[in-house]
Amino acid sequence: MSEPVTNAAVFTIVTGAGLASMLAGVDDNALVCAAAGATLFTVSAKELPWWKRLIYLAISWSVGYFCAAEVVRLTPIKSTGAAAFLLSLLLVTVALGLIERARTFDFAGLINNLFGKGGKS
């Protein structure tokens, strides 16, 4: 069962997204779909503490919303809502995987292979 704090925060953010979508100049499709994708990630990340999930929720939602138009411009995806949903759903998962790989990456071995004994003359 998820914590009441997380449930209340998710409800507040989704409600805020719905209300903010009524403002002029706001892409309501991207805003609501980014909130949905971020919420889905947050609810499924049960192994994380609630405060980390809240931080990841805010990061996923904001990046999903702000980058949706760029994804639509650069890819075959034509809906800002679909782009925002996918971005907000996958962003934190991919970023955490890359951070974990960077922690275990052998930079010294790479430098040795490129410039040291393992490199070509």
Residue 110 domain-assigned (yes or no):
yes
Residue at 97 is within a domain: yes
Amino acid (one-letter) located at 114: L
As a whole number of angstroms, the distance between CA 3 and CA 50 comes to 7
- Asked if the structure places residue 93 within a domain, the reply is yes
Domain extent at residue 59: 4-115
Q: Does residue 61 lie within any of the structural domains?
A: yes
Q: Name the domain count of the chain.
A: 1
pLDDT in tens, 21-60: 666 677 878 888 888 888 888 888 888 888 888 888 889 8
Query: Mean per-residue pLDDT for 62-74?
Result: 92
Q: Is residue 121 part of a domain?
A: no
- CA neighbor of 42 nearest in space, from 5, 82, 79: 5
pLDDT band at 18 (very low <50, low <70, confident <90, very high): low
Q: Looking at residues 91-115, what average pLDDT do you find?
A: 84
Does a structural domain hold residue 120? no
* Backbone φ and ψ of 42, nearest 5°: -60, -40
